[in-house]
Amino acid sequence: MAEITASLVKDLRERSGVGMMECKKALVENNGDIEAAMEALRKSGAAKADKKADRVAAEGLIAVASNADKAVLVEVNSETDFSSRNEQFIQFTKDVAKVALETGAKDIDTLKAAKLGDSTVEDTAKSLTLTIGEKFEVRRMAQVENAGPIGAYSHSGRIGVLVALKGGSEELAKGIAMHVAAMNPKFIKAEDVPADFLEKEKEIELSKMSDKEKQKPAEILEKIVSGKVNKILADVTLVGQPYVLDGDVTVAEALKKAGAEIVSVQRLAVGEGIEKVVDDFAAEVMKQAGLA
């Protein structure tokens, strides 16, 4: 039997939104396997969604730069929020985005090696590390090139989104970029959803049904489950979601009205996929003051 630690229970609680005791029970019943425990909670109806992807685990900023036919996003990480508000850090992030746009760098290694003033992007980051006393990292970039409208949106430097359209307008492209920033859809359209994702959702919906419901004829049962899965598809696909700037229509309907199609979508949020080391506030202040 695997050890069920407090941190494991806490992780499952943050992902599922379910109470600590239910999380511990699910972990015990699944021998400490957090993925199996999460699935069990979803099947029981206790957990409606996996919240893990919503967690932001690092500090830093995302900068946007664009011109008539191209736009880029650049993520630069810092160790603490103090440093991400430093004027030198803010300017550096903007400069890196500008370099990415002007040089046409296609990947992060090329961007790090690109010229920035009398140095390179990477060496400038190292110099700032020595000056401010905290590690900075140029971590990720994303870009779109398009002959049609491009929408670029940054939400407080924490989330950056680029949307390229065929047809429509820059205003619509930016509106959809704002939608993507707010709703973070997993997929663009239903055709992009993997078959195993759909099968898993069908299995979960079927598991949540009562024994009486499961006794219905197979074709009726299939219609019921398919209807529930279609609602999930609307939730997880960009075009199926209600448009945040006009709740009376879906994104698909807004696009159709404007005679537009989505060409590309890029979204970066600060710290995605990074495990953050949590210090207490006093220790963080001491570190900034050079006393720790």
Residue pair 69/145 in contact (Cβ under 8 Å)? The answer is yes
What is the pLDDT confidence band of residue 117, given thresholds at 50, 70 and 90? very high
CA dist 4 to 10, 37, 193, 267, 276, Å? 10, 12, 34, 35, 22
Taking the domains of the chain in order of start, what are their residue ranges?
Answer: 6-54, 59-185+266-288
d(CA 83, CA 143): 26
**Rounded mean pLDDT, 54-66:** 75
Per the listing, tokens 């590390």 go with 129
Higher pLDDT, 167 or 198: 167
103 has pLDDT over 50: yes
Is 138 a residue whose pLDDT tops 90? yes
- The H or E element spanning position 262 is strand 261-269
Helix 87-103, helix 121-132: angle, nearest 10: 180
d(CA 48, CA 213): 20
pLDDT tens-digit series, residues 237-288 = 999 999 999 999 999 999 999 999 999 999 999 988 775 554 454 555 555 5
Secondary-structure class of domain 59-185+266-288 per CATH:
alpha beta
pLDDT 10s digits, 254-265: 999 999 999 999
- Tokens 């600590």 identify what position? 20
List 144's β-bridge partners, or say none.
71
Assign domain 6-54 to its CATH superfamily: Ubiquitin-associated (UBA) domain (1.10.8.10)
Structure tokens at 138: 């140029």
Work out the mean pLDDT of the chain and round it to a whole number.
Answer: 87
pTM: 0.72
Residue-wise pLDDT for 175-216, tens only, equals 999 999 999 999 999 999 999 988 888 888 888 888 888 888
Domains 6-54 and 59-185+266-288 share a fold: no
Calpha distance 190→237 (Å, rounded): 6
More confident call, 219 vs 171: 171
